[in-house]
Amino acid sequence: MSRLESTFGRLRADHRTGLVTYVTAGDPDLQRSAEILLALDAAGVDVLEVGVPFSDPVADGPVIQRASERALRQGMTLVGVLQMIADLRAKLAAPVVLFSYVNPILRMGVDPFARAAAAAGVDGVLALDLPADEAGELRDRLGEEGVDTIFVLSPTSTVGRIARAAALGRGFLYGVSRLGVTGARAQLAEAARPLVERIRAVSALPVAVGFGVSRPEHVREIGTFADAAVVGSALVSVVEEAAGRDDLAARVSERARWLMGSAVNG
């Protein structure tokens, strides 16, 4: 059983909503990025999603776009992200999911990437712009290395695409709550619940819901119909605002703890 399977199994047994936290690797720099991951893990988040900075993050809003720009200026690369994870893995209890666009993976090479991801201790890979129909080679190589492939589904995903992602995916499925780019919102999108219901109709895989999640009540609401909430921009904005402070990691951790305050299924 993979770490992701074990984590989501425990969440279901405890009737608790999981929290998946996204931060961009190398933001605001390598050392503090590592400190943030350690602090989030110590705070008890359920899955650590580590973003690979990319020069053209088309699905991301301005907050995460700026984070990618800061990390790239620091010289962060896919190889650097994997090395950081490898250096931290023994200190982290939570599963680690690598969040990337497909271009850096293809540039590195599917086979070298799969071997390096497994060696670093990555538990799952989510290539945001890689449809399940085109993911065969990457999914197969990651599977051979014991790494889960996670697919993204949106409110416009057809029944066929949902079924395909469910058949090929492992670990969990990522449901995008609304169309558009990432970014914190005051209210959870109405499309989130119907999407998860459509996924549940064809798959027993856990479902995590992201895009726009920024408040404890969002996490609580997601817990009434999904397994976990994914929070990204709401944390990355803290990194941006507190980048010059000595307590940066503590502030990010504090925000995660606040979000988890209502992380119980209804």
Q: Do the beta carbons of residue 89 and residue 139 sit within 8 Å?
A: no
In this structure, which amino acid lies at residue 130? L
The verdict on whether 87 is a catalytic residue reads no
The verdict on whether 29 is a catalytic residue reads no
Residue among 239, 261, 233 at smallest CA distance from 70: 239
Active-site residue, from 27, 46, 49, 123: 49
Token pair for 76: 């962060």
Q: How many CA atoms lie within 13 A of 230 on its CB side?
A: 25
Whose structure tokens read 């996204």? 22
CA distance 237 to 66: 10
Tell me how crowded residue 66 is: count the other CB atoms within 10 A of its CB: 17
Active-site residue, from 60, 123, 148, 221: 60
Q: Do the beta carbons of residue 89 and residue 119 sit within 8 Å?
A: no
45 SS3 class: coil
CA distance 185 to 200: 25
Residues identified as active-site: 49, 60
